Amino acid sequence: MKVIEVHNLCKYFGRFGAVRNLSFEVVKGEIFGFLGANGAGKTTAMRMLCGLLTPTSGKGRVAGFDVYRESEKIKRSIGYMSQKFSLYEDLTTAENLELFGGIYGMGRKEIKAKMAGVIEGLELEAGKALLVGSLPEGVKQKVAFAVSTFHSPEIVFLDEPTAGVDPIARRKFWEMIYEAANRGVTSFVTTHYMDEAEYCNRVSILVDGEVRALASPRELKQKFGASSMQEVFFALAQKAKRGVS
Amino acid sequence: MRALRFLLKKEFLQIFRNKFMVRLIFGLPVIQLSVLPWAATFEHKDIQLCVVDNDRGSYSVRLREKVISSGFFKLSAYRTTYAEALESVEEGESDLILEIPAGFEKRCVNGIASEVMLSVDALNGQKAGLGVLYMGNIIQDFNASVQGEPGNMQAMAVVKPYYKYNLRMHYQNLMVPGVIVVLVSVMGAMLSAMNIVREKEMGTMEQMNVTPVSRSVFILAKLIPFWVIGLVNLSIGMLLSWLIYGLLPSGNMVVIFVFAFFYLLAFTGFGLMISNFAQSQQQAMLVVFFLLVIFILLGGLFTPISSMPGWAQGVATFNPVRYFIEVMRLVYLKGSGFADILPHLLKTGVFLVVFNILAVMGYRKKSM
């Protein structure tokens, strides 16, 4: 079952083509890696899929809803964790979970019942009653993931979720993504860490606003005769004209 | 609407966890009300008076004593000619010259009108105006007492002002209700204007935008807390003005609160509208500051709107603060009821609708 379908999606800011002719499909339960150098258009593309930005042209459906007209319906079906850590730092972990659960239409009882499981599953007991602002970076990241998946979305969009986090916390973070995938949650992840790209089911590499490669990590390495995703990325991203200084 | 409950809980938690905010909400009314009405006085005492007495009779002395004993004037110089007195003004020693003509006493006794000359340094217009006004009253008083004496039978018309509603002309009775309005307006606009733009800066706004929360529910969740704070502030302000100045509305307090109910919704909407359009907290702050200064200066607190030039009166029509100041004074001093403030209420209703529609419209969950 396809949960994201994109066909020739474009976004122009004036004459600048931030994203050009984006076409791909993502199926249910897949972990889809979205790679690209800084300024390649990753965030712009993701914002269009999340209903935060209106595309200039092309077609797109997320969770079965149109990206132009049904963005509010899309928002009901997705979770989003942004690059900048963006939970309420002056609220506790539990209060953040409750708030976002409530916004997505969960009732008080449902929230309470689910909260215990989520807190336990992510080993957040110690930080449950602490203000999020006082938590260490790695724990904040876990909380942000917990919040973005608390309302059981079909798809979760993760924009550089592990930026600035230590390797152990990153490994744990990917374990959470895998657990979510086992529950049937589709993950759409952008990252700069090439070891993380290896964890994805399929990877697309964006260069200057266009998709230059789209396949599983194994296929990509074969195609480019590379031993790691790092080499594949270098081979493609070095040709970029944008963002080179 | 279920989301509203959760959002409101979040807003109140955030406000009360912010120690600065709590201090501001409860501290500002105390400071503003205990300091401002004393500082922003309309009265002028110790106006420096220079006397030029060309008559040197007992009546001149009596007039002079009467002027000094009023408490508004202080004898700064005593000169023999007008030119010398003018020097005293130029040196900044005196504000006002009272010149008594030769033959003053004789004319007074014979009941012939006599002219005394007042020259005033009009550099400070308000001080000059008040000085002349005070002096005029004192001289009129003097006239009356002179005419009442045996042998001085000539009757003269005496103007006797009778101040209605604010019997003793206490400027504080006029200032305090206005200061309360300024207080709730400044708080309402500042706090709400800083709020949404702060979420933009923190990045939490984007997290909100990616949820299915509706624009009006989000704005409502921002509006209600600041509206409640405004009402609390108004109550604190009114309580303090009673404790400090013994001032209670001569009309029904309910009239004030009903008006404030709508006014605060309008004014919080005004702050949120600015917050939505602003890109940073500084920007929001500067815009609010700029508009508040205009609102307050054209609000009739310090200078009456009826004495402003036509164009300024036109601008003042679009000033929400002005209507609340008028309502407060009407209810506090004149005891006006709902029927009297209906026009004010209707105009505030227009502000309420316009500001809040713009606040909701200005909030975009999706950019182009």
A-facing residues of B in 116-145 (CB < 8 A) are none
The pLDDT of residue A70 is 93
ipTM value: 0.88
B93-139 confidence digits (pLDDT tens)? 888 888 888 888 887 777 777 778 888 877 776 777 778 788 888 88
The pLDDT of residue B43 is 66
Residues of B in contact with A87 (CB under 8 A): 204, 207
Distance from first CA to last CA of chain A, Å, rounded?
42
Decide if pLDDT at B169 tops 60: no
Q: Among partner residues A53, A84, A102, which is closest to B3 by beta-carbon distance?
A: A102
What is the count of structural domains for chain A?
1
Buried residues in A78-117 as b, exposed as e (16+ CB within 10 A): bbbbbbebbbbbbbbbbbbbbbbbbbbebeeeebeebbee
In a domain, A55, yes or no: yes
Question: Start-end ranges of CATH 3.40.1710.10 in chain B?
Answer: 47-147
Other C-beta atoms within 10 Å of B306: how many? 8
Position B149 confidence tier, pLDDT thresholds 50, 70, 90: low
In a domain, A84, yes or no: yes
Decide if pLDDT at B31 tops 50: yes
Per the CB < 8 A criterion, the answer to whether B324 and B181 are in contact is yes
Residues of A in contact with B2 (CB under 8 A): 102, 105, 107
Decide if pLDDT at B291 tops 60: yes
**CA neighbours closer than 13 Å in the CB half-sphere of residue A204:** 23
The pLDDT of residue B71 is 81
CA distance B204 to chain A (A): 5
Mean pLDDT of B254-279: 94
Per the CB < 8 A criterion, the answer to whether A52 and B206 are in contact is yes
Q: Domain containing A193 — which CATH number?
A: 3.40.50.300
- Is B365 in contact with A52 (Cβ distance < 8 A)? yes
Identify the segments of chain A with pLDDT beneath 50: 245
In a domain, A243, yes or no: no
- CB-based contact (8 Å) between B290 and chain A? no
Q: Which is more confidently placed, A106 or B154?
A: A106
Packing angle, helices B215-245 and B19-39, rounded to 10 = 40
CA distance A241 to chain B (A): 26
The pLDDT of residue B284 is 94
B337-357 confidence digits (pLDDT tens)? 999 999 999 999 999 999 999
Position B358 confidence tier, pLDDT thresholds 50, 70, 90: very high
Query: What distance lies between CA A215 and its chain's CA centroid?
Result: 18
Position B150 confidence tier, pLDDT thresholds 50, 70, 90: low
Mean pLDDT of B204-220: 92
In a domain, A162, yes or no: yes
The pLDDT of residue B324 is 95
Q: How far apart are CA B330 and CA B347, in angstroms?
A: 16
The pLDDT of residue A217 is 92
From A172, A190, A170, select the one nearest A83 (Cα to Cα): A190
Least confident piece of the model among B164-168, B246-250, B359-363 = B164-168
Mean pLDDT of B140-160: 62
**Domain at B47-147, CATH from 2.40.50.140, 3.40.640.10, 3.40.50.1370, 3.40.1710.10:** 3.40.1710.10
Please count the residue pairs, one from chain A and one from chain B, whose beta carbons lie less than 8 angstroms apart.
Answer: 82
3-state secondary structure of B57: coil
- CB-based contact (8 Å) between B9 and chain A? yes
What share of chain B in percent tops pLDDT 70? Answer: 92
A173-196 confidence digits (pLDDT tens)? 999 999 999 999 999 999 888 889
Position B152 confidence tier, pLDDT thresholds 50, 70, 90: low
Average pLDDT in chain B? 85
Write the CB contacts of A107 (distance below 8 Å, at least 6 apart in sequence): B2
The pLDDT of residue B66 is 86
Domain range holding A191?
2-237
Q: Torsions phi, psi of B213, nearest 5?
A: -60, 135
The pLDDT of residue A243 is 58
B222-244 confidence digits (pLDDT tens)? 999 999 999 999 999 999 999 98
- Is A88 in contact with B204 (Cβ distance < 8 A)? yes
